[in-house]
Amino acid sequence: MEDFYVNVGNRIRSRRKELGLTGGHLAQLAYISEKFLYCIETGKKGLSAETLYNLAKALGVTADWVLGG
């Protein structure tokens, strides 16, 4: 399961950088702390459905895309 979280985090980080967003700005858009976003991006923590939705919306992608689809 750890690999899954690492892959999700990598997708989020990659898209964030593609959009030119800082971690702080994305965290603000997704209503989470910058520290929590860092933990998600590094695969150290999972995310709830609400956080997944907010991150996907802020990144302009679907939740399915974030999860690897």
pTM confidence score: 0.93
- Residue 31 to residue 2: CA distance in whole angstroms: 24
Query: If 0-12 CB within 10 Å is exposed, 13-18 middle and 19+ buried, where does residue 1 land?
Result: exposed
Tell me the average pLDDT of the chain: 96
The full set of domain ranges for the chain reads 2-61
Question: Would you identify the CATH topology of the domain 2-61?
Answer: 434 Repressor (Amino-terminal Domain) (1.10.260)
pLDDT tens readout for residues 30-60: 999 999 999 999 999 999 999 999 999 999 9
Q: How confident is the model at residue 64 (pLDDT cuts 50, 70, 90)?
A: very high
User: Residue 42 has what pLDDT?
Assistant: 97
